[in-house]
Amino acid sequence: MNGERLRIAAIDGHSLGATRYTPAMPRLRLVIASATGVPRAYYTRFAAALAEADIEVTTFDYRGIGDSRPAPRGACMKEWGTLDLEGVLRSLDHRLPLAVVGHSVGTQIFGLAPSAQRVARVLSIAGQSGDFRNWTGLGRVVMATLWYAAIPAVATVLGRVPGWMGIGAELPAGVAKQWAAWGRTPGYLLADADNRAAYAKVRADMRALAITDDPCAPEAAVRALMAGYVGARCETERLHPAAAGRPEFGHFGYFKKDAASLWPEAITYLHGA
């Protein structure tokens, strides 16, 4: 199924690039909240598969990413939830049930959007707390180095964080610096009382997949994030690469073509069956 390209206004009026996949008779409306630095086109196959199952799907680029560039001056990561995702959720007709698929940071910023209170069901793929203390061994060292040194230094010197650093697309400096500040702080973004209060208002059913070979989202980090959704009905499941007949899965494998055998289970969950 081909999607329709469109523009959606964030809450502050910033124009966001988006694509909508609309089946003939949708039974559910869904938004895919992308991972950090990942343009919406990455989710095309997954979105089309959901649309074939009577789910209207909207994908979009956060400010500073893909077709939502350039970011406004002073943009920060929190605005991806409070302004961008919120604008997309408000743009939808709420006469049908509303769901969200959050990938990585997509699940983090989901709880910051006021309209998250109206979402019935969430599927989280590798959504995690970025507090480096949730990692062990070399992984903890790598994450601490990113948060304390690499990302802040590059953002300050270049005024941006280039995609070649392994974070997907180029990140605006303000987004990258806030991300790193959260990562240095015990509790990550939930160290902030306003963020905790926003999370506590979410009442959705939430299923979080912790991918067993994902260096970017170990199970402890996945569980730490889900624990912040104190008012939601949360469950966390391990996902092994073998479930899709693959030797490895990593942080991004769930949305690739050769993981499509897993998507019918996601569709069943999202429909509430």
Mean pLDDT to the nearest integer, 3-7: 97
Per-residue pLDDT band for 168 (boundaries 50, 70, 90) equals confident
Mean pLDDT to the nearest integer, 241-264: 93
- pLDDT score, position 155: 95
Per-residue pLDDT band for 1 (boundaries 50, 70, 90) equals confident
- pLDDT score, position 45: 97
CA distance 183 to 32: 23
- pLDDT score, position 169: 85
CA distance 60 to 65: 9
Mean pLDDT to the nearest integer, 110-118: 98
Residue-wise pLDDT for 9-41, tens only, equals: 999 999 999 999 999 999 999 999 999 999 999
Token output for 113: 């959007």
Mean pLDDT to the nearest integer, 247-265: 94
CA distances from 15 to 36, 47, 72, 120, 193 (A): 18, 21, 10, 26, 29
Are 207 and 269 in contact by the 8 Å Cβ rule? The answer is: yes
pLDDT of residue 167 exceeding 90, the answer is no
pLDDT of residue 70 exceeding 80, the answer is yes
- pLDDT score, position 217: 98
Residue-wise pLDDT for 148-163, tens only, equals: 999 999 999 999 999 8
Mean pLDDT to the nearest integer, 68-73: 95
CA distance 58 to 8: 10
Per-residue pLDDT band for 93 (boundaries 50, 70, 90) equals confident
- Domain positions in the chain are 4-132+189-270
The answer to which of 6-10, 58-62, 81-85, 239-243 has the lowest mean pLDDT is 239-243
Arithmetic mean of pLDDT over the chain: 96
What's the pTM value of the predicted model, to 2 decimals? 0.97
Per-residue pLDDT band for 164 (boundaries 50, 70, 90) equals confident
Residue-wise pLDDT for 183-210, tens only, equals: 999 999 999 999 999 999 999 999 999 9
pLDDT of residue 166 exceeding 80, the answer is no
The CATH classification of domain 4-132+189-270, taken from the options 1.10.1370.40, 3.40.50.720, 3.40.50.1820, 3.40.640.10: 3.40.50.1820
